[in-house]
Each structure stands twice: as structure tokens, then as C-alpha cells.
Amino acid sequence: MSTTHPPPNAPVLLSFANTDALVESLAEFVTKAQREAIDKKGKFTIALSGGSLPKLLRGLIGNTAVRWKNWHVYYVDERVVPLDDPDSNHRSCTEHLFSKVDIPREQIYTIDPNLLDDLDELADSYEKELIREFAQKDAARFPVFDLILLGMGPDGHTASLFPGHELLSEGDRWVAYLEDSPKPPPKRITFTYPVINHASRIAFVAAGAEKAETLRQILDHPETGLPAARVKPVFPGQLFWFSDDAATALVSYPKTPFKL
Ligand SMILES: O=C1O[C@H](COP(=O)(O)O)[C@@H](O)[C@H](O)[C@H]1O
């Protein structure tokens, strides 16, 4: 017997006049998601990306609404490099955010730096971190993060899911690896779509004129199937785009005023 699922909610596009307005609203959005999760179950599970995102989380620094002790932080994708390498997403998040706030270090789940020579084992061990957090409590097939924050590259990639790559059709594993990322460094691990799409809330954070044409394709012509356009949260999950007017300049898709 086949099971039917309601169609995904339509994405909500938020466009801000400048970076400061985006940063401030993003912080409000994250703290709201955090409050709701902690009120419900005493903890907040969030997955972060690298790239331009960590700097844009600066609105959380010194923000008294943030309850860092209840945060459990994972990485949507990670470059297979030592944790202190300039290419590491963990290093970037640490420099721009974690070194400036009082978050328990043991609640930030990094890749195992001892497994950098074995990508299969590395991805497997990160998947086990997720299983430890999510699989015992709910018998769900995939983890349900409270919030996943994604970036979008100018080529339309998100996480480490790149245009035309075979991992776009991975429907079974939670965490996969690749050795041929077109964007350096080539070796990476990444959440797969089923994990991303099962989150309660997903927010892309994409700003700047260099992303305008790609954002137009993704929002106005999702059928072109660029990796970021394949992010479609399973109902009742909701997808948001935090963007700026430079990035949304070419988009016809309707914009929604930001309100919590
Ligand atoms: O390589 C990566 O790129 C994406 C997008 O980066 P951005 O600088 O264009 O925001 C990022 O989300 C991902 O985590 C990272 O590994």
C-alpha cells in the first residue's frame, strides 16, 4: 500500500536591504527556533554550514536570548582537512562564533580528525554521531533537526551536493563522502537530502550580487534541478531563504516581509 504525503510547504523568501538587517533578523529567527525547541524538549539541535554563513551568525554573539548550554551543533558538510586547517568549516565556525560565546565544546560535533585518511570510515563515524543523537529516541528513518542552516554557492550547490554529482540521488545514507568536489578541497563529507529535508526548519542564507542569477533559477525555475532547488522539506517542515536585495534583484518569486 502506498503512503501519500502532503506536498511540501512553499519556500518563504525574505530579502533584506543590507547585510546588517539580514544578520539581525537571522539571529531573531534562530533564537525563536531555539526557544521553541528547548521549551518542548530541553535541547536545540542545529546543523551549520561553512562558506559565508559563519560570519553572518554574528547577531548571536552577546545575544542574551541564546541559551548556549542547550545547543547541540553538527555540521551539514565538512571538508576533509584537520580541524584547524583554514579550509575547515569547523574552524570557520569557531573563529567567527564559538570562540566568542559560552557553548559547551562537547556539544559541538566535529568530524573525527583521526580518520582523515579513510573517507568511508569518516562519513560512517559522523553518521554514528547522528544516530547517537537521533535514532534511539524516535524510531524515525531519518534525523529531525530543529534547524538546518544552508549556504548556496554561485553554481547552485548546497552543503557538498554539487550540480550533476551522483550524491544528488543518494536516498539511503545519512552522511556521504565525495573525493571529487569541483570546489576545493576535493575531499568532503556531507549530509544527504533525506537528512536535510527531514529538518523541522531549513534556512538558506545567501547574499550578494554574484548569487542573483542562480537564485533566480532556483526560485523561479526550480525544475532545472540545481542542488539548492532540490531542498524540499518533508511536510510540515518549512524552508526559508534569508537573502539580500542584491541577491534577489532578478527574482520574480514573491518576497515575504520578515516577522516572527
Ligand atoms: O563549500 C561550501 O560552500 C557552500 C556555499 O558557500 P558560500 O561561501 O557560497 O556561502 C557552503 O554552504 C558549504 O558549507 C561549504 O562547504
Q: What digits encode the pLDDT tens for the residues 95-111?
A: 999 999 999 999 999 99
What domains sit in the chain, N to C, each tagged with a CATH number? 12-244 (3.40.50.1360)
Q: What digits encode the pLDDT tens for the residues 27-57?
A: 999 999 999 999 999 999 999 999 999 999 9
3-state secondary structure of 218: helix
Mean per-residue pLDDT over the chain, rounded: 96
**C-alpha pair distances (Å), 104 with each of 77, 91, 109, 201:** 21, 16, 11, 23
C-alpha cell at 109: 560535533
Q: What is the pTM of this model?
A: 0.96
Ligand 1 pocket check for 88: Cβ under 6 Å: no
Ligand 1 pocket check for 151: Cβ under 6 Å: yes
Q: Ligand 1 centroid vs 49 CA: distance in angstroms?
A: 7
